[in-house]
Amino acid sequence: LPRFTDMNSRLQAVVLRSSVRDLLFKYSSLLSFRNLWNLQYCHHSYLARNFKKVEAQHMEYNTASNYFRMNTGIRKDTEDAPTAGIIVIGDEILKGRTQDTNSYFLVKRLHRLGVQVKKISVIGDDLSSISSEVREFSEHYTHVITAGGIGPTHDDVTYQGVADAFNDELIAHPELVAFIGNYFKTDDLRSPSMKMAHIPSCSELVYGEDKTTGYKSRFPVVRVRNVLVLPGVPRLLEKAVKLIDKRLFGDHRQLSCADLYLSLDEVSLATALNSTVTCFPGVTIGSYPQLLHSYYKTHLTMEGSDLTQVDAAKQHFLSQIGTAHEVAGYVTDPVRGAWQRLQALLRDSEPSIHNSITEALQVLQKCLQEYKPEEICVCFNGGKDCLAVLHLFYAILHEQELNSIDKKSEGRSPTQHSTEESEKNALPQHLPKLQAVYITEENAFPQLAQFVERTINRYELDCTVLPGPLKTALDTLLQQRPNIKAVIMGSRSTDPYCEKLSFFQRTDNDWPVFMRVHPLLNWDYATVWHFIRQLYLPYCTLYDRGYTSLGNASNTVQNPALQTTDRLGQPTYRPAYMLQEPKHERNGRT
């Protein structure tokens, strides 16, 4: 630090020009000289100019920021462990009319970046509550995030609340006025839409950018000192955060983490957990029970700054309970990398299962040779067979798209190749959506309908939802989507009326004209469940309660072949994948 003395005098000059209290109040968000270099929203040009000079001198910002903290009493947070507070704003949250998903999303996102969320507060659309909460959070945490209350209506008062927190006032920001005026076709500053253009005078506009695709957001996020003001609509909030989070919060991940998924409940793990906590005080261990999960009963997390210690703690714990109780290889997102995991399953499976999966893939490959992706639709009703065929088609379709990118990159210049590699790495979110149709029926199980909805979101399906019966629904599908020529179905030869089906079979003469594709025709019951569970695919929870073949609530009951008793002698049912005799699969149909 060749000019540390000179910087010392500059800091003293800053303190002399402004009271310490005012300095802390105005710049409590700025925890390092690195952050102070970005001062577009500060009115203190003297401070900005001097710290620009510090940047030019390549001074070590950590040392400088420590000095700044020691001499001003600023918060004790370190650059290695920034903190955050989240304020969820909205009467609808407190009244139970809207479920808050924003805080869940934000916590996950911030944790991945190494930002410690210290507090989440939910408050109503009240000016005094917003201003006092923002002021307190701003003084205690590195970053403050508000969610909600920035729309055009009377109860959207977040901007005013943030302004009040810093003794500021609202102004009509020229950039926002121009954008909103063009979008809503108005120049009336008193109009409801223009309310969204009035923000605190010391605000900074932050535009998001996706470095991979080059996409830039048209509408900015507002930041007021260390407070990031976000919309309350989850889709808009998530889109904005994904484009700006690393730039605003940095990447402070210095913790080593290990996840363990276990087939034992917390009570059975308590002794081993206590032993591990005692032996490894430098490792933070979290235990999260899952009473109704299809694959595990307890999720453990181990975090620490020393990877060796984290790994040793993991091995110590497993030695206490036995490695057989670890659900090894479990993945929380089986959709990402679906093709690679499918290939690993093929390598590890016995010949009969390997051949069944290979045969299904060959049928789907032939389907893609005969029809374009936009001409193919998957019929999905939430059942186990439909789930298996959906995942197969998703995996093979996306693999073909990836291969097409590879072929396009052959012979390109290094610059072009680099761009296409970035596009490939950004997948699967930028691939075309897979088309599906969900045909509903009366008196459907609510658990089944919920699972279908989650699956549509998980695979990002372009799904048409139509009421049954099947023939009528397919006729409507053809009217709505005349481009569809082939429908992939999960039928097996052991299903009723399916013994004479072939892999490719046109609909009967009095039905809407489609090519029906049956990749799983030769699969048996055990193969379906082996495929689903080895890949850790989420499936409808009814299967874990003893249902083996799902119809509706009027014609389906738990399979008597799976009935047993629990530890208290009460009747219960084993899960569907434990059925020993496939011929009893439909015993639960009435």
Q: Could you tell me the pLDDT band of residue 405, with boundaries at 50, 70 and 90?
A: low
Query: Looking at 165-179, 342-356, 424-438, 543-557, which range is the least confident one?
Result: 424-438
Can you give the pLDDT at residue 27?
44
pLDDT tens digits along 171-196: 999 999 999 999 999 999 999 999 99
What integer is the mean pLDDT of 55-61? 38
* Amino acid type, 386: C
Can you give the pLDDT at residue 468?
86
Q: Could you tell me the pLDDT band of residue 408, with boundaries at 50, 70 and 90?
A: low
Can you give the pLDDT at residue 238?
93
**Full set of structural domains in the chain with CATH:** 83-249 (3.40.980.10), 256-325 (3.30.70.2860), 338-404+431-526 (3.40.50.620), 540-584 (no CATH)
Residue bearing tokens 């030019």: 56
Q: Could you tell me the pLDDT band of residue 433, with boundaries at 50, 70 and 90?
A: confident
Q: Is the pLDDT of residue 486 over 80?
A: yes
Q: Could you tell me the pLDDT band of residue 112, with boundaries at 50, 70 and 90?
A: confident
* CA dihedral sign of residues 98, 103, 108, 109: positive
Percent of the chain at pLDDT above 70? 81
Q: Is the pLDDT of residue 562 over 90?
A: yes
Q: Quote the CA–CA distance of 192 and 463 in Å, as a whole number.
A: 35
Report how far apart the first and last C-alpha atoms of the chain are (Å, whole number): 81
The half-sphere exposure of 562 on its side-chain side, counting CA atoms within 13 A, is: 26
Q: Could you tell me the pLDDT band of residue 59, with boundaries at 50, 70 and 90?
A: very low
Q: Could you tell me the pLDDT band of residue 410, with boundaries at 50, 70 and 90?
A: low
* Centroid of chain to Cα 88: 19
Q: Is the pLDDT of residue 22 over 60?
A: no
- Burial class for 212, CB neighbours closer than 10 Å (0-12, 13-18, 19+): middle
Concatenated DSSP letters of 163-197 = HHHTT--EEE-HHHHHHHHHHHT---TTSTGGGGG
Choose among 395, 267, 262: nearest CA to 336: 395
Percent of the chain at pLDDT above 90? 72
pLDDT tens digits along 278-307: 999 999 999 999 988 999 999 999 988 889
Mean pLDDT (the chain) is 84
Q: Is the pLDDT of residue 79 over 50?
A: no
Q: How far is CA 82 from CA 63, 64, 117, 218, 557, in A?
A: 16, 17, 9, 29, 53
Q: Is the pLDDT of residue 464 over 90?
A: yes
* CA dihedral sign of residues 300, 302, 330, 312: negative
Q: Is the pLDDT of residue 11 over 80?
A: no
Judge whether 460 and 394 are in contact, CB under 8 Å. no
Q: How far is CA 569 from CA 15, 65, 546, 576, in A?
A: 75, 65, 17, 21
Q: Is the pLDDT of residue 422 over 80?
A: no
Contacts of residue 106, defined as CB under 8 A and 6 or more positions apart, other chains included, come to: 86, 117, 145, 147, 237, 241
Q: Could you tell me the pLDDT band of residue 62, with boundaries at 50, 70 and 90?
A: very low
144 φ, ψ (degrees, to nearest 5): -125, 135
Can you give the pLDDT at residue 80?
55
Q: Quote the CA–CA distance of 584 and 588 in Å, as a whole number.
A: 8
Judge whether 494 and 527 are in contact, CB under 8 Å. no
Quickly list H helices, 98-233: 102-112, 127-140, 158-165, 174-184
Q: Could you tell me the pLDDT band of residue 64, with boundaries at 50, 70 and 90?
A: very low
The half-sphere exposure of 371 on its side-chain side, counting CA atoms within 13 A, is: 20
Concatenated DSSP letters of 542-586 = GGGGT--S---TTTB---GGGEEE-TTS-EEE--GGG-S-GGGTT
Q: Could you tell me the pLDDT band of residue 40, with boundaries at 50, 70 and 90?
A: very low
Contacts of residue 453, defined as CB under 8 A and 6 or more positions apart, other chains included, come to: none
Helix (H) or strand (E) holding 506: strand 504-506
Choose among 224, 217, 326: nearest CA to 272: 326
Q: Is the pLDDT of residue 527 over 90?
A: yes
Query: Looking at 4-13, 144-153, 374-383, 574-583, which range is the least confident one?
Result: 4-13
Q: Is the pLDDT of residue 419 over 70?
A: no
pLDDT tens digits along 214-245: 788 888 999 999 999 999 999 999 999 999 98
